[in-house]
Amino acid sequence: MTAIDGSGTARARCVLAPNPSLMTLDGTNTWLIAEPGAEPAIVVDPGPDDPAHLDRVRATAAEAGQRIEKIVLTHGHADHSAGARQLAELTGAPVLAVDPQYRLGAADALGPGDSVRAGGCELRVIETPGHTSDSVCLLLEADGAVLTGDTVLGRGTTVIAGDGNLGDYLRSLDRLRALADEPGLRALLPGHGPLLTEPAPTLDYYIAHRAERLAAVEAALDAGCRTLASIVERVYVNVDRALWPFAEWSVRAQLAYLGERGALPPGVEIPGVLPGPLPHPLGVHQQHRLGVQLYPAAGDEVGQCLVHRLP
Q: 91 or 135, CB closer to Zn ion?
A: 135
Q: 77 or 103, CB closer to Zn ion?
A: 77
CB of 66 to Zn ion, least distance (A): 26
Beta strands at 121-127 and 115-118: parallel, antiparallel or unpaired: antiparallel
Rounded to the nearest 10°, the torsion over CA 133, 202, 283, 149 is -30
CB of 261 to Zn ion, least distance (A): 25
d(CA 48, CA 28): 8
Written in H, E and C, the secondary structure of 169-216 is HHHHHHHHHHHHHCCCCCEEEECECCCECCHHHHHHHHHHHHHHHHHH
CB of 202 to Zn ion, least distance (A): 18
Q: 70 or 77, CB closer to Zn ion?
A: 77
CB of 131 to Zn ion, least distance (A): 6
The answer to whether the bond into 199 is cis (omega within 30° of 0) is: no
Q: 35 or 79, CB closer to Zn ion?
A: 79
Beta strands in the chain (DSSP E): 12-16, 29-34, 40-44, 67-72, 95-96, 115-118, 121-127, 136-140, 145-149, 187-190
Q: 118 or 249, CB closer to Zn ion?
A: 249
> Quick count: other Cβ atoms within 10 Å of Cβ 39?
14
Q: 78 or 268, CB closer to Zn ion?
A: 78
d(CA 80, CA 103): 13
CB of 40 to Zn ion, least distance (A): 27
Q: 225 or 253, CB closer to Zn ion?
A: 253
30: buried, middle or exposed (CB in 10 Å: 19+, 13-18, 0-12)? buried
Strands ordered across the beta sheet of 29-34: 12-16, 29-34, 40-44, 67-72, 95-96
d(CA 284, CA 194): 14
CB of 309 to Zn ion, least distance (A): 10
Q: 142 or 161, CB closer to Zn ion?
A: 161
| Positions that interact with Zn ion (CB under 5 A) | 77, 150, 308
CB of 23 to Zn ion, least distance (A): 8
**Whether the Cβ atoms of residue 144 and residue 187 lie closer than 8 Å to each other:** yes
Complete DSSP assignment for 231-253: HHHHHTTTS-GGGHHHHHHHHHH
**Whether the Cβ atoms of residue 72 and residue 34 lie closer than 8 Å to each other:** no
Q: 40 or 76, CB closer to Zn ion?
A: 76
> Quick count: other Cβ atoms within 10 Å of Cβ 163?
16
CB of 247 to Zn ion, least distance (A): 18
